[in-house]
Structure 1
Amino acid sequence: VQFTGYLAQLTWPMIAFGWVVNLFQQGAASMKRINEVMNHQPTIVGPELSLQNNAEPLLDQIEGTVEFRHVSFAYGDREVLHDINIKVEAGSSLAIVGPTGSGKTSLVNLLPRMFDASKGQVLIDNVDVRKIPLALLRRQIGYVPQETFLFSVPLAENISYGVEALSTERLQEIMQSAQLTKDVEDFPEGVTTMVGERGVTLSGGQKQRTSLARAIAKEPAILVLDDAMSSVDTHTEADILKHLQRVMQGRTTIIISHRCSTVKNLDHIVVLDEGRIVEEGTHGALLQLGGLYAEMYRRQLLGEELEDTENGDLFPGR
C-alpha cells in the first residue's frame, strides 16, 4: 500500500519532467533558428552613419527627385528588368503599369534597397542610393507593399509604427486620408481594437488602408504605393485617391496599379512589359497611341460595364 502511494506521488513529477524535457527541446530548436537569423550577414549594406558622412544633411533637405539610370536587375540568372531609364522630378507623380510579371514591383524594390540593381544606378537627388545609410534612406521612403504585414497590437499602434509621436488629431487626419475612419467607427474599441496576428481580424481592404495610413504617418519625401488598393472596390479607391491628392502635394509619388483608373490623373505613366519600357506618357497621349496601355484601359472599362450590368436590372419591366 505504501509503495502504491509513493508511486502515485511520483506520477505527476515524472509527467512534468517529461513535459519540461520536451519544452526544452522545442526551445533549443527555436533558439537555433533565432541564432541563425541573428548571425546572418546581410547582403544589402550601406555606409556607416557618422559625423563625416554627408548623407544626413542630404536627406534632411531631400527634394525627392528619383532616377533609374540604365537599370537592369536579375533574380539569379533570370533578368527581369532591362535597361530601365526613368526620371521623376521632385514633387511629381509617376505611375507604373503593365501585365502581371512585367517587373513593376522589382523596379520599385530597388529604391529602398530591398535589392540592388545588377547594372546601372538608382539615384535620389542625384546621389546613388548605395551611398546613403540604409536607416536614413528608408526613413524618407513611405512604402506600401502588396502584402501587408500588421502586428498583433492595437490599430493605432500599427498606424504609428516607426513614428515617435502621433497626436489624436493627426491620427484622425491620417485615417481620413486612408479612408479608415468609417471602419474604425464600427470597431468595438475604435483605434484601440486589437487587429490580431498579421491583422487577422481585418478584411483585405482594411489591411491595405492601414498600411497606407502607416506610410502617410511617416510623412516621407517619397511615397511608393505598390498595388496598394487592389483589395478595395472602385468607389473606395476613388475616395482614397481624392484624399491622397492633399498628401501627394509637394511629395514625389510612385504608384503601381493594375487599374488604369487609379493612375490616369498622374503626371507621367510608364508601361512595362517583360521587364522593358514599351510606352510612356500621359493618360491621354497613351490612349491616342493605341498600344498596350490603351488595350488595358479598354478591357477594364468593359469589365466595369459588365459588372454594372450584372448588378443592375436588364429587364426592369419584368
Structure 2
Amino acid sequence: MTRLNQTLSLPDTITDAGTTLPYHHTIRVEQLTFHYPQAQRVAVHDVSFTLREHQVLGIAGATGSGKSTLLQLLMRYWEAENGMIRIGDVPLANIPLAELRAQYAYVPQDGFLFSTSILENIRMGRPDATDEDVYEAARLAAVHDDIARFPDAYNTLVGERGVTLSGGQRQRVSIARALISHAPVLILDDALSAVDVETEKQIIGHLKQRKEQTLIIVTHRLSAIEDADEILVMAHGDVMERGDHQQLLTADGWYSRMFAYQQMEQNLEAAS
C-alpha cells in the first residue's frame, strides 16, 4: 500500500486548468511539433490537418513513424512544444482534462479486458447501458456471433486480460466497449490487426454507416482505410503523403507501393 500511495500521490505533469467545453467536435491540428523528454529525434514534426465531425481519418506509416504519438497529443497525454490542437475551436489546454478525455473512445492494439463477463467488459464503456445496447455494440463490432457460440454466451468469464478469447475476439470486444460509449470521437490504434480482412471490412462498414462518431483509424493494413475521407502517411514524425485512397494510389509513393504489396500478399494467402 505504501508503494501504491507513492505512485498515486505523484503530481500530474499536465496542468488541468481548463474551463471551456467544445461546442462541436471538429479537430484542427496546426503545425504540431513534439520531442519526447531527453530524446534527440523529433517524434512529430510540423503536422497539420482538419478532421470534421463524422469524417474518417486514416493514419498509416511504418513502426516508429509517430502515429501513436500523434494520438497521445490529441488526448493531451503530452504537451506539444509548438503548434496548436483545437477541438471545436477550443485549444486543448482550455478544456478540462476529464472533459477532453471524454471526447475520445480509444481502442489500442492490445485492449485490456478485465476478469469478469463479456457483458460487463462491454458495459464498462457505458455503465447504464442495457443488455440490448451491449448486444447491438457487439453486432457492430462483428463479435456477437462468436459470443453467442460460447456455452454461457455473454455471461462467459474472459479471465485476466481476456486470456480465454482469441486475439481477434479481444480486439472486437474492446471495440464494442468503445462503440457503446457516447464519446464523439472513436480512435482505433491498430485495433483490427488480429482480425481477418473480411471481418475488418464488415466492422469498418458498420462504423461508416453509424455517422454518430468521428473516426480515426491508425493501421498497418491499408485496406482498413481505403474509404477514409483523408489519409495521412507518416515517416519519422512528418506527414510525407496525404489525400484519399485514389489520390495516394495515383501518387505512386509509399502508400501505393505498400498497398500493392499487401494486395499481393492477400491474393497469395487466398490462393493457398
TM-score > 0.5, shorter chain as reference: yes
Q: Which has the higher contact order (CA 8 A, sep 6+)?
A: 2
Following superposition, the deviation at residue 250 of structure 1 comes to 4.6
Following superposition, the deviation at residue 173 of structure 1 comes to 0.8
Residue 105 of structure 1 pairs with residue 68 of structure 2: yes
Percent of aligned positions with the same letter in both sequences? 39
Which residue in 1 is equivalent to 2:270? Answer: 308
Question: Which structure has the greater CA radius of gyration?
Answer: 1
**Distance in 2, Cα, partners of 1:42 & 1:147:** 25
Following superposition, the deviation at residue 162 of structure 1 comes to 4.4
SS at match of 1:142: strand
Which residue in 2 is equivalent to 1:8? Answer: none
Aligned counterpart for 2:106 among listed residues 143, 167, 175: 143
User: Contact between 1:63 and 1:221, CA under 8 Å: does it hold in 2?
Assistant: no
**Distance in 2, Cα, partners of 1:279 & 1:79:** 18
Matches within 5 A, 1:177-196: 177-196=140-159
User: Contact between 1:63 and 1:91, CA under 8 Å: does it hold in 2?
Assistant: no
SS at match of 1:198: helix
Q: Partner amino acid for 2:174?
A: S
Q: CA RMSD in A?
A: 1.4
Q: Partner amino acid for 1:43?
A: T
**Distance in 1, Cα, partners of 2:235 & 2:20:** 38
User: Contact between 2:20 and 2:96, CA under 8 Å: does it hold in 1?
Assistant: no
Residue 67 of structure 1 pairs with residue 55 of structure 2: no
Unaligned ranges ≥5, structure 1: 1-30, 312-318
Q: Give per-residue Cα distances to partners, 1:255-286, cap 9 Å, x unaligned.
A: 11111111011111111111101111111111
- Return closer, same or farther for 1:162/1:182 CA change in 2, 3 Å cut-off: closer
Which residue in 2 is equivalent to 1:241? Answer: 204
Unaligned ranges ≥5, structure 2: none
SS at match of 1:107: helix
Scaled by the length of structure 1, the TM-score of the pair is 0.81
Aligned counterpart for 1:128 among listed residues 91, 97, 100: 91
Scaled by the length of structure 2, the TM-score of the pair is 0.95
Which residue in 1 is equivalent to 2:222? Answer: 260
User: Contact between 2:20 and 2:90, CA under 8 Å: does it hold in 1?
Assistant: no
Q: Which runs of 4+ in 1 moved over 6 A?
A: none
Residue 158 of structure 1 pairs with residue 121 of structure 2: yes
**Distance in 2, Cα, partners of 1:118 & 1:196:** 41
**Distance in 2, Cα, partners of 1:33 & 1:120:** 38
**Distance in 1, Cα, partners of 2:119 & 2:125:** 12
Residue 271 of structure 1 pairs with residue 233 of structure 2: yes
Q: Partner amino acid for 2:198?
A: H
Q: Which protein has the bigger helix share?
A: 1
Which residue in 2 is equivalent to 1:299? Answer: 261
